């Protein structure tokens, strides 16, 4: 019973940490958004433009949450990667006539990376009289991943059925390893798509900068140098030139807004392509948005957006 309470507490602790990170990220984003509103209302002498503070708000939200979620996923992956080795050792011990409980205790002396503390905890529970099925259930509750839950359910059913558990463990170990191999192949195949997303985003930023610093700048100079009296009134050339000059700040604002939208959207797409999870895209969104912010505001001195 105490072990079950500990398991539930550990699960609540894991969830709590995720919530804390999300709360911190939301607070950072809210503060940046509040500064953006003050900037729009000219309520205080705040540097940068509102779109800059919108980018900072996005960075504040996607950064902490994205990196923490990816850290948790990497820790889960480390545990799942060593699960086939543990199942293989338990199966080998079971072939010598050991029960499932004894095989788990004997295999706990091995080294399984991030999985080792969980295995030792499960072996200690069995040593103090907890049935093997219950110890496996508690182990699945602590790790709480779809793969571990599925593997543990198969092992418990095989053990309760009274069949040859060693053969079942061997098959499960091979299937689990095959799943990991398939995931590795998928990651290798998706790496090229991730590279395309990052390269295309970088090219997009370069195009935006060239258009803003060269093409629009020349349009503005030509429009300012044009004397309305030298243009045929019937053609409306003077009006067109004046409209082009006045529209340049709006066009630049649209350019920066496009960089912001592409940074967030392309990052989410990159996460989905990488492992099929939108949460993983938060990290990529942070990196791409930061790339756009640095390129437009620091390396190239920024664009005159709001007039």
pLDDT of residue 189 exceeding 80:
yes
Q: How far is CA 23 from the centre of its chain?
A: 17
Identify which of 139, 188, 196 has the alpha carbon closest to the alpha carbon of residue 11. 139
Taking residues 196-211, report their average pLDDT. Answer: 89
Whether the CA torsion 134, 136, 141, 142 is positive or negative: it is: positive
Q: Which tens digits make up the pLDDT trace of 287-305?
A: 999 998 888 876 655 544 4
| Lowest mean per-residue pLDDT among 40-49, 81-90, 128-137, 202-211 | 40-49
pLDDT of residue 10 exceeding 50:
no
Q: Which tens digits make up the pLDDT trace of 172-185?
A: 888 888 888 888 88
Distances (CA, A) of 122 to 117, 150, 189: 9, 17, 37
Please report how the helices 50-94 and 2-41 are oriented relative to each other, as an axis angle in degrees rounded to 10. Answer: 160
Residue 264 neighbours by CB under 8 Å, 6+ apart: 58, 62, 285, 288, 289
SS3 283: helix
Distances (CA, A) of 19 to 65, 72, 242: 9, 13, 53
* Residue 146 banded pLDDT, cuts 50, 70, 90: confident
Average pLDDT, the chain: 79
pLDDT of residue 145 exceeding 50:
yes
pLDDT for 229 equals: 52
pLDDT of residue 4 exceeding 70:
no
pLDDT of residue 201 exceeding 80:
yes
pLDDT for 199 equals: 93
Q: How far apart are CA 74 and CA 79, in angstroms?
A: 9
Q: How far apart are CA 265 and CA 255, in angstroms?
A: 15
Identify which of 39, 33, 152 has the alpha carbon closest to the alpha carbon of residue 90. 152
Higher-pLDDT residue of 163, 193: 193
Q: Which tens digits make up the pLDDT trace of 236-269?
A: 444 444 445 566 677 777 888 888 899 999 999 9
Taking residues 199-207, report their average pLDDT. Answer: 91
* Residue 223 banded pLDDT, cuts 50, 70, 90: low
Q: Which tens digits make up the pLDDT trace of 25-84?
A: 888 888 988 888 888 887 767 777 778 888 888 899 998 888 888 888 888 888 888 888
Q: How far apart are CA 60 and CA 239, in angstroms?
A: 44
pLDDT for 99 equals: 84
83-87's contacts with Cβ under 8 Å and 24+ in sequence apart are 83/115, 83/147, 83/148, 83/151, 83/176, 84/173, 84/174, 84/176, 84/177, 84/180, 85/110, 85/112, 85/173, 86/110, 86/112, 86/115, 86/119, 87/151, 87/169, 87/170, 87/172, 87/173, 87/176
pLDDT for 304 equals: 47
């Amino acid at each position: 019973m105490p072990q079950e309470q500990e398991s539930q507490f550990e699960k609540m602790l894991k969830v709590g940490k995720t919530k804390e990170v999300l709360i911190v990220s939301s607070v950072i984003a809210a503060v940046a958004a509040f500064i953006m509103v003050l900037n729009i209302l000219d309520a205080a002498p705040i540097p940068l433009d509102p779109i800059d503070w919108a980018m900072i708000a996005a960075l504040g939200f996607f950064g902490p949450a994205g990196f923490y979620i990816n850290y948790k996923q990497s820790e889960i992956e480390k545990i799942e990667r060593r699960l086939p080795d543990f199942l293989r050792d338990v199966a080998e011990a079971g072939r010598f006539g050991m029960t499932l409980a004894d095989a788990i205790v004997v295999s706990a002396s091995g080294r399984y990376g991030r999985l080792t503390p969980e295995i030792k905890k499960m072996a200690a529970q069995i040593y103090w009289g907890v049935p093997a099925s219950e110890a496996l259930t508690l182990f699945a509750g602590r790790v709480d991943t779809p793969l571990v839950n599925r593997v543990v359910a198969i092992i418990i059913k095989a053990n309760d059925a009274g069949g040859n558990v060693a053969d079942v463990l061997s098959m499960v170990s091979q299937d689990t390893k095959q799943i990991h191999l398939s995931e590795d192949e998928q990651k290798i195949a998706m790496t090229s798509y991730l590279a395309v997303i990052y390269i295309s985003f970088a090219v997009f930023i370069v195009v935006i900068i060239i258009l803003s610093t060269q093409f629009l700048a020349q349009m503005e100079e030509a429009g300012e140098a044009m004397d309305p009296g030298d243009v045929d009134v019937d053609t409306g050339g003077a009006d067109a030139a004046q409209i082009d000059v006045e529209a340049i700040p709006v066009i630049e604002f649209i350019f920066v807004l496009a960089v912001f939208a592409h940074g967030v959207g392309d990052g989410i797409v990159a996460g989905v392509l990488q492992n099929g999870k939108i949460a993983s895209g938060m990290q990529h969104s942070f990196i791409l948005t930061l790339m756009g912010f640095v390129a437009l505001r620091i390396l190239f001195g920024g664009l005159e957006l709001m007039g």
